[in-house]
Amino acid sequence: MAPSEPREIVAEPRDVEIDDGLSRGASRAESVLDDMLGRILTCSRDEAGEMVAEMRIFQPHEIARRLAARYEQLAESRERSRAVWVIGELCGVCGVAFLSRCARSSEANVRRLAASALGKALPVEGDEAEAAGTVMALAKEALQLLTHDEASQVRQYARNALDRLSSAPRPHE
């Protein structure tokens, strides 16, 4: 029997979706995060505290990005205040730009929570503090502005946050 000639196989390219499970998992995680963010903005204070612990599994920059995007559409002052609080609790340096913008809010409670969150958001020692130089400057600028706020609680929270940042050990000292 003679060997057969190699055949040329011609196929048209097709759009084939490869399911490696990763994209579906990422999509599911995004959906869960969005659902949790929606709930945390409207639930009770106690429930929000419990949810914060559960939400620590998500990337801080992703939480900050999604809450900042929602913020302008929030109709209730309570929800805007909660968004600022959540970012302060979960996002660290990833939330500083958003919190600095909130320091200019027309709502005193939002400004107060922004001052408190800025004081907690920044690493005050170690390698993270050294890397956060620009972010630290942005936060301090916002806090300085808030020390002259018309609302006494806002001024107090801003001073407390600045004191915390000023008394922190400096890298390489």
Ramachandran angles phi, psi of 104, nearest 5°: -105, 15
126, two tokens: 């170690």
What average pLDDT does the structure give for the chain? 84
The pair of three-digit structure tokens given for residue 82, joined into one six-digit string: 């909660």
Q: pTM of the entire structure?
A: 0.77
Instruction: Please report, to the nearest 10 degrees, the dihedral formed by the alpha carbons of residues 141, 97, 122, 160 taken in order.
Output: 50
Which one-letter amino acid corresponds to residue 10? V
30-41 tens-digit pLDDT: 999 999 999 999
**CA dihedral of 119, 125, 129, 135, whole degrees rounded to 10:** 20
- Residue with token string 């936060």: 139
CA atoms within 13 A on the CB side of 136: 16
Domains by residue range for the chain, with CATH: 33-167 (1.25.10.10)
Task: Tell me the per-residue pLDDT of 100-132, one tens digit each, with 9 for 90 and over.
Answer: 999 999 999 999 999 999 988 876 565 565 656
